[in-house]
Structure 1
Amino acid sequence: MSKMPRILLLAALTALSTAAPASPPPAQGALSVANAPVPPADDYGDKVRLKLASGIMNMMTGFVEVPKNMINTANNTSSYGSAFDRGGYVLWGITGGGLKGAMHMLGRTLAGLTDFVTCFVPTEPITHPAFVWQNFYTDTQYGPYFKVDSQPKPAAPAPRK
């Protein structure tokens, strides 16, 4: 293994281990961690770590968009009724979802490269959801590019008299 993949893997593991703060265990019937939304980052370091982690992981896992879109396309097609027979759902999922997944793979990989290069600019990641495994059954969206904050910080309460 050459030095560059080792360095990228080490950077990804370091960024992921520090990107998300620890949270209490989910209650019974709660959503899994894979579907949990990314908490908004409060300070510069958190924003940089989130963007660096999403950039590295999107470059490394962009290929997961192909099977994700095959599954989602087959599942969404089956809800249209009798337009296809049983084999048609799978066939359309493999062909149409495969092409759609290839385009999203390219988009996620290039967006990951952009996030990696511009990680020191504290903006949100370009891809939504930030990681391919979050909200697995929703389509990947891109942009708005270089949006600074999704939620403004609340104003500090007025001092008591």
Structure 2
Amino acid sequence: MLKISEVKELIKLIDDSTISNFLYEQDGVKVEIKKNVGEAVVAAPVVTKTIQQEEAKTTKEVAVESVVTEAPEKSIDENLHKITSPMVGTFYQSASPDAPAFIKVGDKVTKDSVVCIVEAMKLFNEITAEVDGEIVEILVKDGELVEYGEPLFLVKA
């Protein structure tokens, strides 16, 4: 069975490669990693409804159009390092609800500094900074669900 550190290493290797889908099976244990390759833009179709009025015996057509637009993403300084989520789970800024946050904007971190916890399947995984620097921005709210590879923090290295 794979250790959590081995799974994290696999995730990093897949993330740094051009592989978009990875499947590993051994002794009935299956690990599947899928990487988002691009952003999907969703647009709702135009819906046309016909309303018949019995009394007037006329037909009216009403066009209902709805288009989903996405807010433009903030431009992120390319000199900043993104600390990303290594898994899908729930983001927590502290070890418990009454404990202070691991870090806040302006704090100095080292590559081994714990910056948050991501809970996945009742396992609390400590996420480290991976670089030395200063926290510039926290991109996720406490208790929010995060996706694999989603940026959590911006660090000025």
Answer yes or no: same fold by TM over 0.5: no
- TM-score using structure 2 length: 0.25
Who wins on radius of gyration, i.e. which is larger? 2
Q: What TM-score results when the alignment is normalised by the length of structure 1?
A: 0.24
Which one has a larger percent helix, Structure 1 or Structure 2? 1
Greater RCO (Cα-Cα under 8 Å, separation 6 or more):
1
The structure carrying a bigger strand percent of its residues is 2
